[in-house]
Amino acid sequence: MSNRTSSTILCVDDTPDKLELAATILRKAGYQVATAFNGRTALDIASQEIPDLILSDVSMPVMDGIELCRVVRDDEKLRTIPIMLITAFLKDAESMAEGLRAGADDYLEAPYDPPRLVAKVARLIERKRAEEPLARLAAIVENCEDAIIGKSLDGTITSWNFGAEKMYGYRAEEMIGQPIYAIVPDDRYEELRGILHSISKGARVNRLQTQRVAKDGRVIDVLVTISPIRDASGRLVGASAIARDITERLQGEAERERLIKELQTALAEVKTLRGILPICMHCKKIRDDEGAWRQLEVYIKEHTNADFSHGMCEPCAKKMYPEIYARLHSNGNKEE
């Protein structure tokens, strides 16, 4: 049930008695009520208060109920407000048809039973509230940057959002009714057949990395999630695919991999000694690429990442500094 105490009805009628009657009935039913004597005044009130429903007479001066419907439906701020027309001339079917075409949601013939008025008002408000989440969801889907495509179980496209238009370059009217194969590369046909088969069994396809073809022939790398769609009875009726363009991301990853490999190759080649090195068998100097003889430690330091700290091995110390070596050796033995 609707929360009537928080719902506002805007009643519009140029006859004070009729206006008061409708307002009284609705107030007793728990609704808040605003009133206006013509369509022009009603528009001003509606723009300020945004009522949950407009209950309007058809025949009024300044602006009648039918024109009120047209103006409300053309107003971005007011267009979702339910409108019910009341007329004493319901037998004029053409007039009521005009009202419905103008945007009225329902109508009621006067004189009417109060319970019937309350029931119709409650139904319209409940319907609006039930539709609001769907409307918000539809707006999100329509304006999503990702391509969101609905299709039947045989692959026929049934919906095509703005994101799909932007990604693939086709307008919705170009693609609805067309097979989804129209944007699939030839070498991905078998993959798509497998997906459609899985969907027909009620399965879901999560984050599949694949490719699609844009209108201009570009191949787009996409990450796709495909979910089965069921009707109110639970019967499988189609699928919804959400595709994200990951072309730039993959290109960036490929570029990073290329740079990493180049860097690794460069690091492997820089400061690395390769091949046969000419070395003097007497002084142990190495001949560089320009023919100059370089000290071993200098050459190695320039061609590798190695560094040197100087010391002396025991045989050289014994040969070069025998006295010092003997004294140190002798001290070492005494300490032992």
Query: Could you give the domains of the chain?
Result: 4-141 (3.40.50.2300), 145-249 (3.30.450.20), 286-335 (no CATH)
pLDDT at 55: 95
Q: Which of 114, 107, 110, 202 is nearest to 153 (CA)?
A: 202
Q: How far is CA 154 from the centre of its chain?
A: 25
User: Along the chain (336 residues), what's the average pLDDT of each consecutive run of 10 residues?
Assistant: 74 94 93 94 93 92 91 91 81 72 87 89 86 62 78 91 92 93 93 90 90 94 91 86 89 84 72 69 78 80 72 79 77 49
One-character DSSP codes across 215-281: TTS-EEEEEEEEEEEE-TTS-EEEEEEEEEE-HHHHHHHHHHHHHHHHHHHHHHHTT---SPPPB-T
pLDDT at 265: 76
Against a cut of 0.75, is the pTM above it?
A: no
Q: How far apart are CA 152 and CA 176, in angstroms?
A: 11
